[in-house]
Amino acid sequence: MDFARLAALYALTAVAEIVGCYLPWLVLRQGRSAWLLLPAAASLALFAWLLTLHPTAAGRTYAAYGGMYIAVALAWLRLVDGVALTRWDVAGAAIALGGMAVIAFQPQVAQG
Protein backbone atom coordinates (compact mmCIF):
# COMPACT_ATOMS: atom_id res chain seq x y z
CA MET A 1 0.00 0.00 0.00
CA ASP A 2 1.44 3.38 -0.95
CA PHE A 3 2.35 6.04 1.60
CA ALA A 4 -0.62 8.37 1.04
CA ARG A 5 -3.25 5.62 1.21
CA LEU A 6 -1.74 4.02 4.30
CA ALA A 7 -1.39 7.39 6.06
CA ALA A 8 -5.03 8.20 5.23
CA LEU A 9 -6.13 4.81 6.55
CA TYR A 10 -4.25 5.40 9.81
CA ALA A 11 -5.76 8.90 10.11
CA LEU A 12 -9.30 7.66 9.44
CA THR A 13 -8.82 4.87 11.97
CA ALA A 14 -7.73 7.44 14.56
CA VAL A 15 -10.69 9.72 13.87
CA ALA A 16 -13.10 6.80 14.29
CA GLU A 17 -11.59 5.94 17.67
CA ILE A 18 -11.53 9.54 18.87
CA VAL A 19 -15.16 10.15 17.88
CA GLY A 20 -16.15 6.88 19.56
CA CYS A 21 -14.56 8.03 22.79
CA TYR A 22 -15.37 11.75 22.59
CA LEU A 23 -19.13 11.29 22.35
CA PRO A 24 -19.39 9.30 25.62
CA TRP A 25 -17.14 11.94 27.19
CA LEU A 26 -19.72 14.56 26.18
CA VAL A 27 -22.49 12.47 27.75
CA LEU A 28 -20.61 11.84 31.00
CA ARG A 29 -18.81 15.16 31.45
CA GLN A 30 -21.13 17.68 29.83
CA GLY A 31 -24.51 16.08 30.43
CA ARG A 32 -25.30 15.66 26.73
CA SER A 33 -27.99 13.28 25.52
CA ALA A 34 -27.39 9.59 26.07
CA TRP A 35 -28.44 9.15 22.42
CA LEU A 36 -24.86 10.15 21.56
CA LEU A 37 -23.82 6.71 22.76
CA LEU A 38 -25.35 5.14 19.64
CA PRO A 39 -23.11 6.94 17.12
CA ALA A 40 -20.23 6.44 19.57
CA ALA A 41 -20.74 2.67 19.44
CA ALA A 42 -20.98 2.78 15.66
CA SER A 43 -17.77 4.80 15.47
CA LEU A 44 -15.93 2.32 17.68
CA ALA A 45 -17.23 -0.55 15.52
CA LEU A 46 -15.91 1.33 12.47
CA PHE A 47 -12.58 1.78 14.25
CA ALA A 48 -12.32 -1.98 14.89
CA TRP A 49 -13.20 -2.76 11.27
CA LEU A 50 -10.70 -0.22 9.93
CA LEU A 51 -7.94 -1.90 11.95
CA THR A 52 -8.57 -5.08 9.95
CA LEU A 53 -7.82 -3.22 6.68
CA HIS A 54 -4.23 -2.45 7.63
CA PRO A 55 -1.76 -4.58 5.68
CA THR A 56 0.49 -5.76 8.52
CA ALA A 57 0.14 -7.96 11.59
CA ALA A 58 -2.07 -6.61 14.36
CA GLY A 59 0.74 -5.82 16.80
CA ARG A 60 2.71 -3.88 14.19
CA THR A 61 -0.45 -2.05 13.12
CA TYR A 62 -1.19 -1.03 16.73
CA ALA A 63 2.40 0.11 17.26
CA ALA A 64 2.45 2.27 14.13
CA TYR A 65 -1.12 3.47 14.72
CA GLY A 66 -0.07 5.03 18.02
CA GLY A 67 1.98 7.68 16.23
CA MET A 68 -0.88 8.71 13.99
CA TYR A 69 -3.28 8.68 16.94
CA ILE A 70 -1.10 11.23 18.74
CA ALA A 71 -1.08 13.56 15.72
CA VAL A 72 -4.82 13.25 15.10
CA ALA A 73 -5.62 13.73 18.79
CA LEU A 74 -3.63 16.97 18.79
CA ALA A 75 -5.40 18.11 15.63
CA TRP A 76 -8.70 17.32 17.41
CA LEU A 77 -7.52 19.36 20.41
CA ARG A 78 -6.96 22.35 18.13
CA LEU A 79 -9.92 22.03 15.77
CA VAL A 80 -12.67 20.71 18.05
CA ASP A 81 -11.63 21.81 21.53
CA GLY A 82 -10.16 25.10 20.32
CA VAL A 83 -6.96 24.74 22.32
CA ALA A 84 -3.84 26.23 20.78
CA LEU A 85 -1.03 23.78 20.24
CA THR A 86 2.41 24.48 21.68
CA ARG A 87 5.66 23.92 19.89
CA TRP A 88 6.10 20.94 22.22
CA ASP A 89 2.83 19.44 20.96
CA VAL A 90 3.96 19.87 17.36
CA ALA A 91 7.42 18.47 18.07
CA GLY A 92 5.96 15.49 19.91
CA ALA A 93 3.56 14.76 17.08
CA ALA A 94 6.40 14.97 14.55
CA ILE A 95 8.49 12.53 16.58
CA ALA A 96 5.52 10.17 16.94
CA LEU A 97 4.80 10.32 13.20
CA GLY A 98 8.45 9.60 12.50
CA GLY A 99 8.22 6.49 14.65
CA MET A 100 5.00 5.51 12.93
CA ALA A 101 6.67 5.84 9.52
CA VAL A 102 9.66 3.73 10.56
CA ILE A 103 7.34 0.93 11.70
CA ALA A 104 4.69 1.16 8.98
CA PHE A 105 6.99 1.63 5.98
CA GLN A 106 9.80 -0.75 6.85
CA PRO A 107 11.13 -2.86 3.98
CA GLN A 108 9.18 -6.05 3.42
CA VAL A 109 11.37 -9.14 3.75
CA ALA A 110 10.22 -12.29 2.02
CA GLN A 111 9.31 -15.07 4.44
CA GLY A 112 10.88 -18.32 3.47
Is 111 contained in some domain?
A: no
- The domain of 82 spans 3-104
The answer to whether the CB of 59 falls within 8 A of the CB of 49 is no
User: Shortest CA distance to 68 belongs to which of 96, 95, 91, 88?
Assistant: 96
User: Number of structural domains, the chain?
Assistant: 1
Is 112 contained in some domain?
A: no
The model's pTM is 0.85
**pLDDT per position as a tens digit, 22-71:** 999 999 999 999 999 999 999 999 999 999 998 888 888 888 889 999 99
Is 109 contained in some domain?
A: no
